[in-house]
């Protein structure tokens, strides 16, 4: 099982890194693998608020619900990925993931499955993805 533990680097000495972790490690430290990533700025709540304001305005002007407009905007301009699921499981998976659609049946290595296009909710976008998504609104 994988667990992410965040922290910050406090010192670097040749090939050694000293870090302060946000939570303690349990067990043998030799069982852990370390991955160092550049810290990125989180997206501001102002952009999210602007997005919902625009969605509400669009929904009102076309007499639709904000959820329908949000789904439409995700489908047209959002970040998506694809899944292949067992036949008969597609709707169940869509209900769990909230945003997506069934593309149809596919055969891979002689096995039949159903392909889904899953739209990632905008709350999971990084700054760059959200900026691109928001720039697609025509107002």
In a domain, 88, yes or no: yes
In a domain, 56, yes or no: yes
List the domain range (segments joined by +) for residue 105.
45-135
Check residue 110 and give its pLDDT: 95
Q: Is 3 helix (H, G, I), strand (E, B) or coil?
A: coil
In a domain, 70, yes or no: yes
Does the pLDDT value for residue 136 go beyond 60? yes
For 92, residues 6+ apart whose C-beta sits below 8 A from its C-beta are: none
Check residue 26 and give its pLDDT: 67
In a domain, 10, yes or no: no
In a domain, 76, yes or no: yes
In a domain, 71, yes or no: yes
Check residue 44 and give its pLDDT: 67
Does the pLDDT value for residue 1 go beyond 70? no
Q: Taking the model in full, what pTM does it have? A: 0.59
Check residue 90 and give its pLDDT: 93
In a domain, 28, yes or no: no
In a domain, 72, yes or no: yes
Residue 57 burial (C-beta neighbours within 10 Å; 0-12, 13-18, 19+): middle
Mean pLDDT of 99-106: 94
Q: 111 - beta bridge partners?
A: 108
Say how many domains are in the chain: 1
Q: Give percent of the chain with pLDDT exceeding 70.
A: 87
Mean pLDDT of 92-105: 91
């Amino acid at each position: 099982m994988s667990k992410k533990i965040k922290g910050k680097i406090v010192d670097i000495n040749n090939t050694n890194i000293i870090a302060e972790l946000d939570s303690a490690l349990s067990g043998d430290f030799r069982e852990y693998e370390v991955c160092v990533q550049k810290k990125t700025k989180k997206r501001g709540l102002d952009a999210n608020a602007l997005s919902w304001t625009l969605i509400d305005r669009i929904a009102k002007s076309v007499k639709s619900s904000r959820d329908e407009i949000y789904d439409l905007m995700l489908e047209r301009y959002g970040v998506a990925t694809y899944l292949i699921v067992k036949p008969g499981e597609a709707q169940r998976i869509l209900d769990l993931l909230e945003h997506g659609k069934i593309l149809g049946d596919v055969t891979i290595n002689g096995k039949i499955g159903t392909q889904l296009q899953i739209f990632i909710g905008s709350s999971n976008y990084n700054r760059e993805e959200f900026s691109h998504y928001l720039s697609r609104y025509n107002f």
